[in-house]
Amino acid sequence: MPTWHTDRVDLLGDSAWCLTLYSGMGASSALAGADLLGTSLQRNPDNITRALREYDQRLRPFIATQQHLGCKDGLPMFVPQTRRDITVRTLVQRLTSNPVGKRVMAKAIAGQFKSKSVDIAAP
């Protein structure tokens, strides 16, 4: 959809962007979206149209990233398509089943979570 709002009516959560299970960000995105909407309305109390436009413009890139990563990174972990996917998933499960492996994996994949920990409502 080119926009999630018309006049004073706005789509929220899955009705607007519907992330897949594979992104692992459905509830988090709904909460982030609600926070951003509240913040946008608070910043623009006399101009709801502007608040909704700001909400849409700031949230859309975040949601697009989560949708892309869900297809790129999440799908092979949840639904492996190749032998390589199965091997990687098995290896990750084995590594994270002990404390040392958890620490190693946490450091190895920490960079992948930067896009998931953005405060989209921050100025």
Segment 23-62, tens digit of pLDDT: 677 788 888 889 999 999 999 999 999 999 999 999 888 8
Residue 92 parent element (H or E): helix 83-95
pLDDT digits (tens, 9 = 90+) for 98-123: 888 888 877 777 666 666 666 777 76
50 contacts 35 by C-beta, under 8 angstroms: no
Helical (H) or strand (E) element with 27: helix 26-43
- pLDDT value, residue 73: 66
pLDDT at 22: 67
Is the pLDDT score of 20 beyond 90? no
Instruction: Give the model's pLDDT for residue 42.
Output: 94
Q: Note the pLDDT of residue 38.
A: 93
pLDDT of residue 12: 82
pLDDT of residue 116: 61
pLDDT of residue 47: 94
The separation between CA 11 and the C-alpha centre of its own chain, rounded to angstroms, equals 17
Return the beta strands (E) in 20-118 as ranges: none
Angle at which helix 48-69 crosses helix 26-43, to 10 degrees, equals: 160
Q: What is the pLDDT of residues 67-100, one digit of tens each?
A: 877 766 666 777 788 899 889 888 888 888 888 8
- Characterize 51-72 residue by residue with b for buried, 16 or more Cβ atoms within 10 angstroms of its Cβ, and e for exposed: bbebbbebbbebbeebbebbee
Neighbouring CB atoms inside 10 A of 39's CB total 19
pLDDT value of position 115: 60
Strand, coil or helix: what is 9?
strand
